Amino acid sequence: MAVEERIEQSPERAAEPSGTPDVRLERVTKRFDDVVAVDDLSLEIERGSFFALLGPSGCGKTTTLRMIGGFEEPSAGVIYLGDHEVSGTPPYKRDVNTVFQSYALFPHLSIFENVAFGLRRKGTRGGNLKGKVEEMLDLVQLSGYGRRKPRQLSGGQQQRVALARALVNSPRVLLLDEPLGALDLKLRKEMQLFIKRLQHDVGITFIHVTHDQEEAMTMADRIAVMNRGKIEQLGGPDDLYERPQTAFVAGFLGISNLLTGEVSGRDTVRLGDGTTIRVRADALDGRSGRVAVGIRPEKIRPDDQDPNALQGVVRERAYIGVSTQYIVETRYGNVTVVVLNDRPGSIPHSPGDHLTLSWDPEATFILDPMEEPA
């Protein structure tokens, strides 16, 4: 689809040097009375990227988004849109549009007028207006719905109207605050792919807020994992999953097994009972002292084919269909193992079975050791 041609870049935006990030936050802090919602946060978002802010409820994602949109002013720090600082600029003067979680469609206006709202404010009229609105409705697969009122549409359709209403203004950045939160699982999955494709087609920078790690990984090119108003780690979905740098990130993006030990070489860690396991040298990165070695459950094999091996007894088994999850008791605590059911036949291991677990040193990551409960 030749959508790029439809979305006109404003001349001002086109004149910027190509490397200018679309959004830049510099040491931004936001306080509400004594709550620090966003804490000294710095961030650059590359033009045309699909960026996700991921974190648990209350970590400051919405507040960050609202500061970019102009609905809140930072208590400290600066926000740039392109090379413009936007402190004190009201929302209606910012080249940014928002898809609200509640959609916030105007209930008294038709779908057509909802989508036309932004264009009318800019003085677009007549055939030009009609053409743009209809093209946009077409893009979100709602052509022919223009005369209806928002409440005559289903949740998924309303969601797409909200997208169209924002995108028709071809903003520099589109902000999406948990836009799929109100949809059921199946529709949510569909919309994830739809929005991702849409972003690819229109080439506008999307900033997507979510607390769902799967959603963030499915949709975004880059993800910032937030916790307590700060960014814990920023990277691609695979970076964050395979090489988390903090226990928070490791835990938020999925299950991980952590074995605590002492660094004993360039790429070795000695566990409590003297067993030495090999890890990735670049993950260890010259550390010394106590560290936690992390392995994702699906990276562990229920056999001795890989260099690092551990003995254990199966305690629990959960059949999930595509895979089976085992809880295996070892000398270092319980280890979770996920085995793909990719062979026909029965599930090979039962509770009580003795099992050798092994994994590739390349599949490990290193974290600071957790405070052991006394």
Partner 1 sequence: MSSIAVPRQRERNVLAAAFGFVRYHVLTVYSLLFFAYLLLPIAIVVVFSFNHPVGKFNFTWQGFTWDNWRYWDGIPGIRGAIILSLEIALIASVIATALGTAIALALVRYGFRGRATTNILIFLPLSTPEIVLGASLLTLFLNLNVVFGFWTILIAHIMFCISFAVVTVKARLVGFDRHLEEAAMDLGANEWTTFRKVTLPLTAPAILAALLLCFAISIDDFVVTYFNSGSSVTFPLFVWGAARIGAPPQVNVIGTAIFVVALTAMLANVVFQRRREVRA
Ligand X SMILES: Nc1ncnc2c1ncn2[C@@H]1O[C@H](COP(=O)(O)OP(=O)(O)O)[C@@H](O)[C@H]1O
Instruction: Check if the beta carbon of residue 277 is closer than 8 Å to that of residue 308.
Output: yes
Q: Of the ranges 59-67, 119-127, 158-166, 297-305, which one interacts with Mg ion (CB under 5 A)? A: 59-67
Return the range that interacts with ligand X (CB under 6 A); candidates 52-60, 303-311, 339-347, 351-359: 52-60
Q: Is 55 in the site for ligand X (CB under 6 A)?
A: yes
57 belongs to the binding site for ligand X (CB under 6 A): yes
Which range of residues in 44-52, 58-66, 140-148, 330-338 is near Mg ion by CB under 5 A? 58-66
Q: Residue 62, interface with Mg ion (CB under 5 A)?
A: yes
* Residue 49 sits in the site that holds Mg ion (CB under 5 A): no
Nearer to ligand X, 58 or 265 (CB): 58
245 binds ligand X per the rule CB under 6 A: no
Residue 294 interacts with, from ligand X, partner 1, Mg ion, none (CB under 5-8 Å by kind) = none
Assess 169 for contact with Mg ion (CB under 5 A): no
For the bound state, the minimum distance from the C-beta of residue 57 to ligand X, rounded and expressed in Å, comes to 4
The entry of ligand X, Mg ion, partner 1, none near residue 59 (CB within 5 to 8 angstroms by kind) is: ligand X
> Quick one: 183 or 314, whose CB is closer to partner 1?
183
Scanning residues 9 to 48, which ones bind ligand X (CB under 6 A)?
32, 35, 37
Residue whose CB is less far from Mg ion, 37 or 284: 37
Q: Counting contacts by CB under 6 A, is residue 68 touching ligand X? A: no
Residues lying near partner 1 in the complex (CB under 8 A): 69-71, 90-92, 96-98, 100, 102, 104-108, 117-118, 121-122, 149, 151-152, 165-166, 169
Residues interacting with Mg ion, by CB under 5 A?
62
Residues interacting with ligand X, by CB under 6 A?
32, 35, 37, 55, 57-63
